[in-house]
Amino acid sequence: QVQLVESGGGLVQAGGSLRLSCVASGRSFNKYPMGWFRQTPGKEREFVATISWSGSSTTYADSVKGRFTISRDDTVNTVYLQMDSLKPEDTAVYYCATRNHMFSRGSVNRNEYDYWGQGTQVTVSS
Give residue-wise pLDDT tens across range 86-110: 999 999 999 999 999 999 989 999 9
For residues 53-77, give the mean pLDDT. Answer: 97
Look at residues 76, 9, 14 and name the one whose alpha carbon lies nearest to residue 36: 9
What's the rounded mean pLDDT across residues 24-50? 96
Reported as a single tens digit per residue, the pLDDT across 12-23 is 999 999 999 999
Q: Radius of gyration (Cα) for the chain, nearest Å?
A: 13
Question: Residue 46's pLDDT is what?
Answer: 98
Please state, in angstroms and rounded to a whole number, the distance separating the CA atoms of residues 33 and 54.
8
For residues 46-64, give the mean pLDDT.
97
